Structure 1
Amino acid sequence: MKKLKWAFALLLVGLLIFGYINYPKLNLISGYASKNLASNVFLAQRDAYFVNTVDHDMPLINLANAEVDTGKKSASASVFGLMERTAVYKEGLGAVLTNTEHQKHNFSIVPERNQKRDTLPFPYGNQGDKDTLMANVDYDALEFTLTRAMQDSVQKTRSLLVVYKDHIIGEKYSNRFTKDTKILGWSMTKSILGTLYGILEYENRISLKYRPFQALYNTDGPKSQITLDHLLRMQSGLAWDEDYFKISDVTKMLFLDSDMTMAQAKNEVIAPPTELWNYSSGTSNLLSGILRKQFSTHQEYLNFPYSKLIDRMGMYSMLIETDLEGNFVGSSYGWATTRDWAKFGLLYLHRGDWNGDRIFADSWVDYITKPTENSKGTYGAHFWLNAEGKYPDLPRDLYSANGFQGQRVFIIPSKDVVIVRTGLEEQSDEQFNTLISDILKTIE
């Protein structure tokens, strides 16, 4: 009996220690579950049960109990009844996690969209595909490659789209997903945000030599030397911990902060600019905040991505969610259909020219694909690169927008190809190397 009591006591102590260590994480778990559920249900129009049982079937997140309130357009989640978090949805802005400050958010100011009806086929319109077969494409082999990738239950691919010479030559979707399903790009949103700076530069409204800390925050110390170029290349020298499996800079920013643009700005300088390359979602949201300060009103800021890029190209499904202060969460929360993600890739394949409408300078592509110092040839300016052969069987000129869970827009200029892959499971470099190589082999 004494041994049993001791065993029970030790178990109780162990549970208390485990609870003490992990209790703060419950905030992040319930925050992720409620935010993700609200966005998927109200923005992407997906089934709540499917999101809870499939999308949230991952370590720790599967501990959350999340429910939707359709009347209030919100979703709430808790872990064993503890640390409940609620996310609310506003048309035009997306879903946002609430906290004690959420009543300050002005939900009445939303982007003004200009979504014209068109009669053009993809990619310059939304009225179907060009009816074209190309003699140098092995369609049977491509179909086999895409089908095999979709059937791999481990990789959990949700959509695959192959565009060659502006034509869709292959397109596949998993169960419950279609060409009209909006999919979260996660960090592919960073490439959208970076492009907005390319537009500002093309319009002579900003310089990449601009020093935001000196100009906006009256900083005279080491931060004053940081330029937009340093931020776009993730080499500012500011401290940042990008770890999604613990309480870190990035998880606190995404699930606790009302103003996500200030998380990186508050951190200390740990190295001179260019000396250290450090991937940072906080840097992208800092850039979103700097972008906002280029406009005299909040409305102008909210309109800018849509009027100058998104709606201008007919990517009408795309939406970038905001934080509680009305800032675009440029690090993580861009949504679009697979076809609209492909249009973004095609804009870069055409070096900023969209059917005769120049959106950014031709030279901007050279800038974002120039390898950043100390990144080992894998990073440019808010785009990922293959400059050093990370994918050994793929062209070195390949570059991509990358996101969590294996979201990708691959741009391959030498092959005149854009490939979009979305899914629920992160893929290794080896897996992507094989998939993209097999796809390219079907085009002679």
Structure 2
Amino acid sequence: MSRKLFGTDGVRGRANFHPMTAEMALRLGAAAGRFFRRDGRNRHRVVIGKDTRLSGYMLENALTAGLTSTGMNVLLLGPVPTPAVGYLTRSMRADLGIMISASHNPAEDNGIKFFGPDGFKLSDHAETEIEAIVAGEIEPAQPDNIGRAKRIDDGRGRYVEYAKTTFPAGQRLDGLKVVVDCAHGAAYRAAPEVLWELGAEVIAIGVEPNGFNINDGVGSTHPEACAAAVLEHGAHLGISLDGDADRVLIIDETGRMADGDQIMALLAARWAAQGRLRGEALVATVMSNLGLEHFLHGRGLRLERTRVGDRYVVEKMREAGFNLGGEQSGHIVMTDYATTGDGLIAAMQFLAAMAETGDKASRLSSQFEPVPQLLKNVRYAAGADPLSADAVRAVIAGAEARLAGSGRVLIRKSGTEPLIRVMAEAEDETVLREVVEDIVAAVEKAA
């Protein structure tokens, strides 16, 4: 069957509008519970975390009702980062983990992400099976097998303690002044705690969630807030997380931003030198800069590309046995430490490099010169398919021919919003702008 509910990262949409309604969350919970029930006994458990959106309360309660109706015992973690759900799903021997979050999206959106008992996000096949159950009749548990729900008060603390174990033993962050921007999101307590306990002087911003301000002018979608704080406080480093803390951008001491490609380049080079980079390869998506590919090739390393979405990066890593991958947007996946992107732990690996080398953030975050890249988004109406228009196809073909051998064009639909993403790379910035503008104009006309 075709997938209608699940996108590239779970189910996502505007809160209180299909599919992000209480009714659908209840059915999703019941369907996931039925999918993961191995037998009729009431001994299964699921952990649920969330970020700080107001709608999280509604969806948490609805999911809990659906899950318990099919016999699952629910353990409620409260606000924790997405990677904490992956970690605690395994640690607590749960059958299922659920994160309620729309990540970097605005507060009026929300989403539901599922993790299997191994802590990794569910495969496309598993999500398709759950979607099929949602569409049918869901068999409830017998009255004596209805599940229970329980609050877990130390979920954040467990994750904090684990995160610290990923920092090199014996090292501390004494003498480093660090700004951490938590986007008024899920890491608003965990991230400052970890950095402070490791010895850093912490300036925390984006740590006053009110249900409506997640990602609003702060976080990795607005790194200028972190950059301003770095300059104001004379900090050595800025860490800019998104709403569920599965992605990170680094701000150096000059206020300059480094994206996921630069962070991955640093980690890949260091891990390769230490003999830790499995397969001598880094996994990234088609969006990563050509400069990253050139950087890796110059060191005898490979760049393995996947379609956009951190889940596809992880699938490739697991399939081939690689241990480092991620996205330009700041999802950094280190399977030695986490089952999904973890912005905080990635930032700690960057801090470890600073502590070990004594280099400034500006040096470590500038590993390669990016090939000029331009990305523009075009919004389209529901049900429209502008990429199928002959005029759009002709313009894209012309752009590809123009850049042949000197750049590339990538056009794709967003998996989470009604957007066409138009991206191109070229050494000649004038040509780059012209190519992208021509495609955008054609898509806008068709849309």
Give the strand-richer structure, 1 or 2.
2
Instruction: Assess same fold via TM > 0.5.
Output: no
TM-score, normalising length: structure 1: 0.32
TM-score, normalising length: structure 2: 0.32
